[in-house]
Chains A and B, each alone.
Chain A
Amino acid sequence: MKEVILSVQQLKKSFGEKEVLKGIDFDVYKGEVIVVIGPSGCGKSTFLRCLNCMEDASSGAIWFDGENLADMKVDINVHRQKIGMVFQQFNLFNNLNVIDNITLAPVLVAKKNRSKLKFKNFKIKIKNLFSKEKTPLLDLGDDLKTIKEKANQKAMELLKRIQLEEFAEAYPSTLSGGQKQRIAIVRALAMDPKVILFDEPTSALDPEMVGEVLELMRQLAKENMTMVIVTHEMGFAREVANRVIFMDEGVIKEENNPKEFFSNPQNPRLKDFLSKVL
């Protein structure tokens, strides 16, 4: 039995009167590549955005790391560090150069964790003043300089991997769409996520650049990165996905392995959809 990374139960989402998601049950297993397809406006992007609470679910549960993300009391920021997201419009930070785009979040998170530990140590020190048993101090780990250096080193390795190391100091506005999207993907990778969500990652790219982004995603799939991908690239879905999901009218209409899914669709709506897009 494979480990479940993300488990969604009876997820519902409404915008005002309009119910976009009408109860979705869905599990993501470790190392699995899931492709979500469906007609426009069927709620597939909303569904993906609910998984890391970019949209708060109206009801239902999203289990990740032993906690229910749909619960408003959960510190969502901690969990989002482990759920990467790649956007249609890339969303690289325009005011930062490429390397800072990649290192910003890892460095800030490490710094925050370090200051939390420092605060704990401070409390232990005060406790030690008044008690005979001395509690040992917690290990702070790397100092700030080392944190920064390690993050930079890792970012350079990631950039080397996508052959963009010479663009480390460049600003996003000088890059092509394909380059931006690949950098956005490695920015997510820099956080060592357990799962990455892709929200139509190639829809804003021209055909020539779609290939380079899909190639990187293919590599990630080979390395057993867990991914949930909303896309219109049927060829990619057939080739890379472990499971394909067809969504329509806010529910999952069909779910199967890619071979069966494309060659032997059951749902009439899916048959109709596939006949139009294939």
Chain B
Amino acid sequence: MDWSLKWDIFIDKVSYNNWNNNFVKMLGNGLLITVKIAVLGLIIGILIGTLIAAVKVAPKYKLSVRILDKICAVYTAFFRGTPIMVQLLLAYYVFLPMIGVRGIDPEAVGVIIFGLNSGAYVSEIMRGGIKSVDVGQMEAGRSLGLSYGTTMIKIVIPQAIKNILPTLGNEFITLIKETSVLSFITVVDLYQALRNIATANQVYEFVIPYIILGVVYIILVLLITLLVRGIEKLFARSDRSATNSKRKKTRKAKVQL
């Protein structure tokens, strides 16, 4: 492959007729949509996932809880059992027309499906997180007269979230990358933006745009990794290791003196 030729074609293309502004704009918009849908999807996913996890771990004395539990099981089975692409297609081309809704913004459909899909995964992650919290924490809360729900919200779930942060980071990364299937419902995400760039001005040159696509994804994921590390540190203030690390620093400082 002649790399210099590929670069020449690409640079010619983006600089032709002052088109480079357009190139930056397309790339930026695609990036923005990818991040937006992944972030909103994750937020919805965490909310739904936490609710479902709370139902899944709740004691099953009451009929209402048992019914909710079954509904949650069906929900999880559907959203984990089918590819997200199929869910997008079904929602946008089958479900919405079927109930007579037309002209809805495909981005909104994307956010909702990503949220629902992520909710199914987060519910299992969160369930594991809740189970990892010592049962004594719930007992202590209940023994003080707090209700199951209050103890869950104030005591158990904050500790569960701390435990599952690395896994949630993983989920975020998966979402970012999965946004590339949004092009199936006409959303111009990062992938579609680079495709559009590749085919713009009747010059069909894919090599450089696809390399850019890969590089942008990697940078995004690395940034998320850093972000998750930062959040983990924030949550770790109640850990013993957090106080220890401070101490190590002061020791080092003394040695330097």
Contact = CB atoms under 8 A, between A and B. Distances in A.
11 contacts: A54-B142, A54-B143, A80-B145, A91-B139, A96-B155, A96-B238, A105-B141, A105-B146, A174-B240, A188-B144, A191-B144
A135 interface: no
Interface of B: 134, 136-137, 139-147, 150, 154-155, 158-159, 162, 237-240, 243
Interface string A82-99: 111101010111111100
Interface string A148-180: 000000000000000000000001111000000
A59 interface: no
Contact of A93 (B141, B147, B150, B237): B141
Nearest to B138: A91
Size band of the interface chain A makes with B = 20 to 34
A194 interface: no
B29 to A, nearest CB: 40
Interface in A94-113: 94-97, 104-105, 108-109
9 closest residue pairs by CB, A with B: A81-B145, A91-B140, A105-B144, A85-B143, A91-B136, A171-B238, A80-B145, A173-B240, A95-B158
A234 to B, nearest CB: 26
Nearest to B135: A91
A52 interface: yes
Given A95-B238, A174-B240, A77 B145 contact: yes
A78 B145 CA distance: 6
Interface string A66-84: 0000000000011111111
A174 B236 CA distance: 13
Interface of A: 52, 54, 77-85, 87, 89, 91-97, 104-105, 108-109, 171-174, 184, 187-188, 191
Contact of A80 (B136, B144, B243): B144
B131 to A, nearest CB: 15
Nearest to B243: A174
Max count, chain A CB within 10 A of own CB: residue among B145, B237, B238: B145
A159 to B, nearest CB: 17
Max count, chain A CB within 10 A of own CB: residue among B154, B238, B239: B238
Contacts of B144: 80-81, 84, 104-105, 187-188, 191
A172 B142 CA distance: 19
A184 B136 CA distance: 12
A87 B140 contact: yes
A269 to B, nearest CB: 30
A93 B137 contact: yes
Max count, chain A CB within 10 A of own CB: residue among B142, B158, B159, B237: B142
A115 to B, nearest CB: 13
Contacts of A191: 144-145
Contacts of A85: 140, 143
Contacts of B140: 85, 87, 91-93, 184
B240 A94 contact: no
Contact of B142 (A80, A94, A96): A80
Nearest to B238: A171
Given A171-B238, A174-B243, A191-B145, 15 more contacts: A80-B142, A80-B145, A84-B144, A85-B140, A87-B136, A87-B140, A87-B143, A89-B134, A91-B134, A93-B137, A93-B141, A93-B155, A104-B144, A105-B141, A105-B146
Contact of B154 (A54, A81, A104, A174): A104
Contacts of A81: 144-145
B239 A95 contact: no
Contacts of A54: 139, 142-143
A84 B139 CA distance: 12
A105 B145 contact: yes
A87 B139 contact: yes
A109 B151 CA distance: 12
B6 to A, nearest CB: 54
A139 B240 CA distance: 45
A53 to B, nearest CB: 9
A258 B12 CA distance: 98
